[in-house]
Each structure stands twice: as structure tokens, then as C-alpha cells.
Amino acid sequence: MTDIDLWEGMSVAPPEDPFSPDEHEAWQRQEEQLRAEVLAARQRQRQAEETERQLTLLRARHAAEQIFAEEQAAEAKARAADAARVHDGATFLLDLPPTPPALWGTGADILWARGEALMIAGPQGVGKTTLAGQLLRAVAGLPPGDVLGYPVEPCQQRVLYLAMDRPEQARRNLARMFTDAEAEFGRQYLSEIIRFWVGPPPCDLAADPEGLLRLAREHDADVVFVDSLKDAAVGLAKDEVGAGYNRARQLALAEGIQLVELHHVVKNGADGGKPNNINGIYGSTWLTSGAGSVVLLWGEPGDPIVELLHLKQPMNEVGPLKIRHNRETGLAEVFHDPDTDVVALARRCSTTGLSANEAAACLYSVEKPTKAQIEKARRRLDALVAQGLLYARDPDTERGGRGHGRRWFPAAPASWEEPDR
């Protein structure tokens, strides 16, 4: 029994009879005062007990939060050690393959590398969607499995094509490349392997960088075609928008989503002609900075033959190439122009041979090629030597020179057909 319990049992003895009204009133006041003091003491005791209970709960909660934080930290550390994006220094720096794994290309001639976005840029009507459609076929695992003579690795899951720019026109263009009964595959295969998103995306991909990754995951796709960038994010000329879209791109790539992006160029290059470098691509610098490969198609709308320039390369520069569009099938193929085909040029100069300077002038359609163009032509000629199509002769070597007079000659007569890549 507590002191308060004893106190509650106490009472003021009433006055003995007979008592006057004044004595009775005084007794009542004393009784009420004692009762008020007992109630106040009981309230203080309850408050103290509640305070102690709350302190006990706070101590328990704090201890639980500490244990939970320690467990979370341990789990995060374990996840970090096993995360796909985290590598130890030796693995990251020393275990590099000699060439990047190619999604489109062969050897060091890579147009699209795994883990790096491919951008196909060009003005209107030069065949960007046509080229993308051929890549779509190849990525979906449909024959022939190569584009412009370079093999394409098929997807492992599904392809998602974001047809945001004039989707009905893209639909007509792409439909020419597919039939209702693809050999060995059929309609059911197409319905499963490819998904098309028609119209604007569900969100601005620059404002919501995780939106692109969500779209890919929702459709179980490991390859996404973005047609085109101007519809994926609004205001691409602004660096904050370009940086926002690049973050969306990098988040997707980091999760194993491979990207093909269709984009546009500025109206003209610095001299009023075709853009001949990366600065000719429209928009923020972050769009091209974050891409692994940038391919430019150039020509007039509707031209059957257009140029392909490899403005940014994962490894070797591919091309320049001439591309011929077949308007009936919608397919494109490499057009071997005798005026720019270095093997054909070497055959025409079979006696004197072909110099790197002459090859560069023909390849890049210029009278005075730059040092960079000459070096690129030299690499192209050496690559043809490795393929057995040319051989090199250096007349300066015997006289102690450094080989700058090297010339390249055909390794086969002009009647011999150049093999496919």
C-alpha cells in the first residue's frame, strides 16, 4: 500500500455533538482540502508513471533503431561488394578485352558497342528510320543478321521501339522490311519479340531520368530504339535538358539496356555544306558526349544514295560509306562507288599504286585532305592489307627513309570480286 493509499484512507474527524453550524462548515472545508490534496498527489503519481513509461519506450525505440541501422549498413556493404556496377581495381583496369564487345560490327570496326548508346543522326528523309529498321530486324534475330555487311548481335529478351516521331510514317517505312510470314519465324514470333510504343512517352525523359529504364523494364526489353530524341525530351538545346536525358540514357545502360537513338542535325555545317564533325549534331553537347557511337547520314530527302560518316567511334572509324536505299523493300546496302572505293582506285593505279593522300582525297571528296583525313585513310588502307585486298610497298625504306612514300597496290586483278565483310 502506497503513502497515497494510506492518505486516501484518512479523514478529518467530525466535531462532537452538539456542534454549531460554524464548526460543521469548518469540518467540511478541512475534509474537502484533504480530498483535493489526495487527488493532486494521485495525479502527480500517474504523471510520473507515464513519464517513466514514455522514457522506457523511447529507450527501446532508440535501441531498435540502432540495431536496424547497423543491420542496414551491413546489408548495404554486402550489396556494394556484390553489385554489378562495382569492380575491384585489378578487374576494372587489367581485365579489358582487346576490343569492346560489338553489338554491330566486327573486330575493331564497331558501329555500336555493348554498353554504349548508338546515335543515328541526319536531316529529314535520308533513311534514318530505314537504317534503324534494318537494325531492328537484326536485333530481333531475323535474317540475314547483318546490316551494311557488319554482323549484329540479337537481343536476349525483347526489343522496344519508341515510335514517337510521326509514328504512322515510321510504321509504313518499317512495314516494308517485314512480312506476315518471316521464314522460320512467323507472325507469332514478331508479336512476342518486338513491342512498339506509339506517340509521346509517358513522361519527359529528361525531367524524369528513370522513365526510360521503367519503360524498358515494363516491356521486358533489353534493347530500346528511341525515335527520335526530340520527342523524348523537350528543349534539347538546353544543357540542363541534354544532361537530364543523358542521365536517363546512362541509367538504362548501367542496367544492361542497349540503346539506338535517332536524332537530327543542324541545318548546315560551318561552310553551308554537310556537318563534318560532332558539332553538326543538334542540341546540347551532353547528347553526343554521352553517346558511344555517332553515325551521320547525309543527303537530300529522297536521295537513293546517301553518305554514311562515322563521326564518333568506339574503336576504328567505319567508312565513309555510300548507302543505297531500295524503295521497294525499304532495305539499304553499301554502294561501292568506283570513285571512292579505295580497292577500285588501287586497281586503276595498279602500276603506280595509291598513296594515303590520294586515298583521303577520294574518300572525303576534298582536293586537299587534312592530316587527320590522311591518317584515317592510311589506317583504312592498312586494314585492307590485313584483309588481303591490298599490299603495301615502301620505296623509301631501302634509302633509309621513314616510309612516308608508301603506296598501296591491289592484291588481286580488277576482275576479282571483293568478298563480303
Q: pLDDT band at 272, cuts 50/70/90?
A: low
- Using alpha carbons, list the distances in angstroms from residue 50 to 45, 60, 62, 97, 210: 9, 15, 18, 68, 48
Query: What's the pLDDT tens digit per position in 276-325?
Result: 788 889 999 999 999 999 999 998 888 889 999 999 999 988 888 889 98
In terms of domains, do 189 and 319 share one? Answer: yes
Average pLDDT over residues 201-206: 95
What is the H or E stretch that residue 142 is in? none
Q: pLDDT band at 374, cuts 50/70/90?
A: confident
Q: How far apart are CA 105 and CA 147, in angstroms?
A: 9
Average pLDDT over residues 76-83: 64
In terms of domains, do 308 and 350 share one? Answer: no
pLDDT at 94: 78
Residue 183 inside a domain? The answer is yes
pLDDT at position 367 over 60: yes
pLDDT at 284: 94
pLDDT at 113: 96
Residue 416 inside a domain? The answer is no
- Using alpha carbons, list the distances in angstroms from residue 286 to 224, 231, 261: 19, 17, 14
pLDDT at 421: 44
385, HSE (Cβ side, Cα atoms, 13 Å):
14
pLDDT at 232: 96
Q: What CATH number is attached to the domain comprising 210?
A: 3.40.50.300
- Residue 392 belongs to domain spanning: 342-410
Average pLDDT over residues 329-337: 80
In terms of domains, do 350 and 331 share one? Answer: no
Answer for the pair 320, 307: CB distance below 8 angstroms, yes or no.
yes
349 or 24: which carries more pLDDT confidence? 349
Own/partner pairs for 371-377, CB < 8 Å, 24+ apart?
A: 376/317, 377/342
Average pLDDT over residues 268-273: 58
In terms of domains, do 295 and 356 share one? Answer: no
Q: Provide the pairing of β-strand 293-298 with 118-121.
A: parallel
Structural domain count of the chain: 3
pLDDT at 398: 47
Among the ranges given (15-24, 71-80, 203-212), the one the predictor scored with the smallest mean pLDDT: 15-24
pLDDT at position 98 over 70: yes
Q: How many residues does the chain have?
A: 421
pLDDT at position 184 over 70: no
Give percent above pLDDT 70 in the chain: 85
pLDDT at position 347 over 90: no
Query: What's the pLDDT tens digit per position in 145-175?
Result: 899 999 999 999 999 999 999 999 999 988 8
In degrees, rounded to 5, the angle at the alpha carbon of residue 51 between the alpha carbons of residues 50 and 52 is 90
Average pLDDT over residues 114-133: 93
282, HSE (Cβ side, Cα atoms, 13 Å):
17
In terms of domains, do 307 and 376 share one? Answer: no
Residue 84 inside a domain? The answer is no
pLDDT at 420: 46
> With a threshold of 0.85, does the pTM exceed it?
no
pLDDT at position 328 over 80: no
Q: Average pLDDT, whole number, for the chain?
A: 84
Give the contacts of 8 (CB within 8 A, at least 6 positions apart).
38, 42
Helix/strand/coil for 280: helix
Residue 97 inside a domain? The answer is no
In terms of domains, do 256 and 216 share one? Answer: yes
